[in-house]
Chain A
Amino acid sequence: KNEVEQSPQNLTAQEGEFITINCSYSVGISALHWLQQHPGGGIVSLFMLSSGKKKHGRLIATINIQEKHSSLHITASHPRDSAVYICAVIIGSRLTFGEGTQLTVNP
């Protein structure tokens, strides 16, 4: 079993829909990242959080440390949101990654 599990693996939505991607982890962590990866490989950090909730534009990330669970929400989704979204946790000195969620938003 991976230390970091994401769901769903693939998600297709219509433009404008509200999207939720979930991340569960099995060990104690100091913080969690949500990352976005576009075709071509570049990874962009969306959020780093260790408690509560953060919001940036149409993106919202929440974390429940007791339940070892985090969610990434996208409101009013747009085709340009299509990408792979990766959850990564800081364990000790390094990041451990989930396998990613491939999001496709259709116009």
Chain B
Amino acid sequence: DTGVSQDPRHKITKRGQNVTFRCDPISEHNRLYWYRQTLGQGPEFLTYFQNEAQLEKSRLLSDRFSAERPKGSFSTLEIQRTEQGDSAMYLCASSETAATEAFFGQGTRLTVV
């Protein structure tokens, strides 16, 4: 297992377009998290899954954002009608349980122009 992988690493999109990011967690990890990080700040929680169930969503996750983990393995994060304020690093992490160590992907850097 090569760890948590995210795709793409970088995405530049025009305002108003839709984008979708993918995260492949470590295979035996039940928990999958999405975080967003803007320049000079620590990451902020967006949402997390326990297997295929989305158990919590941050108020940061407006109705333009949707996340899925259909088979309890990989996850996708979609942003519709992107805005310049969506420009950030989107980080995915996975862990076996809530109390065990989290492992992070390399992130997807989104730039909305």
List A residues at the B interface (Cβ < 8 Å): 4, 30-31, 33, 35, 40-45, 48, 86, 88, 90, 92-100
Q: Once the chains bind, are B102 and A97 in contact (CB under 8 Å)?
A: no
Interface size on B, residues (CB 8 A): 27
Taking a contact as CB atoms under 8 Å apart, the answer to whether B101 and A42 are in contact is no
- Is B12 an interface residue, CB under 8 A from the partner? no
C-alpha gap A54/B110 in the complex (Å): 36
| Alpha-carbon separation in the docked complex, A94 to B61 (Å) | 15
Cβ–Cβ < 8 Å partners of A41 in chain B: 37, 89, 91, 106-107, 109
Q: Which residues of A contact B65 (CB under 8 A)?
A: none
Known A-B contacts A31-B99, A98-B42, A99-B42; the reply to A44 vs B104 at CB < 8 A is yes
* Cβ-defined contact, B101 with A48, below 8 A: yes
With the chains together, A92 CA to B98 CA distance in Å? 8
Tally A-B pairs: CB < 8 A.
64
Asked if B33 contacts A94 (CB within 8 A), the reply is: yes
User: Could you tell me the dominant secondary structure of chain A's interface residues?
Assistant: strand
Q: How far is the CB of B48 from chain A (nearest CB, A)?
A: 6
Most B CB within 10 A of own CB, among A41, A45, A86 = A41
**In chain A, what residue has the closest Cβ to B43?**
A97
Contact of B42 among A42, A48, A86, A92 (CB under 8 A): A86
B106→A95 contact, CB < 8 A = no
Which 10 A-B pairs have CB atoms at the shortest separation, nearest pair first? A97-B42, A43-B104, A41-B107, A42-B106, A48-B101, A99-B42, A93-B98, A97-B43, A41-B89, A94-B45
